[in-house]
Amino acid sequence: MDLKKISNFIAYVLILPIIFFLSTILSFRIIIKGEMVTLPNLIGKTLEEASSELTRRKLSIVQTEAQFDTRWDRGRIIFQEPSAGSKLKIYRVVKVTLSAGTEKVLVPRLIGRNFQNSSQILNEAGLRRGKVSQVHTSEYAAGKIISQYPQATAEVGSNSPISLLISQGEREEKYLMPDLIGKKAETVLAKLKELDFRVEDIRYTFYPGLEGGITIKQFPPQGYLIQKKYPITLEVSKK
Domain boundaries defined on the chain:
35-102, 105-167, 175-237
pLDDT of residue 5: 56
Residues with Cβ < 8 Å from 215, sequence gap 6 or more?
180, 181, 182, 183, 184, 185, 188, 234, 235, 236, 237
State the Cα–Cα distance between residues 145 and 167, nearest whole angstrom.
Answer: 6
Cβ atoms < 10 Å from Cβ of 177: 17
CB-facing half-sphere around the CA of 115: CA atoms within 13 A: 21
pTM of the predicted structure, to 2 decimals: 0.45
CATH code for the domain defined by 35-102: 3.30.10.20
- Pairing outcome for strands 60-67 and 93-99: parallel
State the Cα–Cα distance between residues 162 and 124, nearest whole angstrom.
Answer: 13
pLDDT-wise least confident of 30-34, 203-207, 211-215, 230-234 = 30-34
User: For 190-204, what is the mean pLDDT?
Assistant: 92
Task: Note whether 35-102 and 105-167 share their fold.
Answer: yes
pLDDT at 133 over 80: yes
Task: Please tell me the class of the 105-167 domain.
Answer: alpha beta
pLDDT of residue 213: 94
pLDDT at 25 over 80: no
Report residue 210: phi and psi, to 5°: -125, 135
State the sign of the Cα–Cα–Cα–Cα dihedral 194, 199, 204, 208. negative
Domain 175-237 falls in which CATH fold? Answer: Trypsin Inhibitor V; Chain A (3.30.10)
pLDDT at 73 over 60: yes
pLDDT of residue 17: 61
As a whole number, the mean pLDDT across the chain is: 86
Q: How confident is the model at residue 183 (pLDDT cuts 50, 70, 90)?
A: very high
Q: How confident is the model at residue 30 (pLDDT cuts 50, 70, 90)?
A: very low
pLDDT-wise least confident of 19-23, 109-113, 147-151 = 19-23
State the Cα–Cα distance between residues 190 and 186, nearest whole angstrom.
Answer: 6
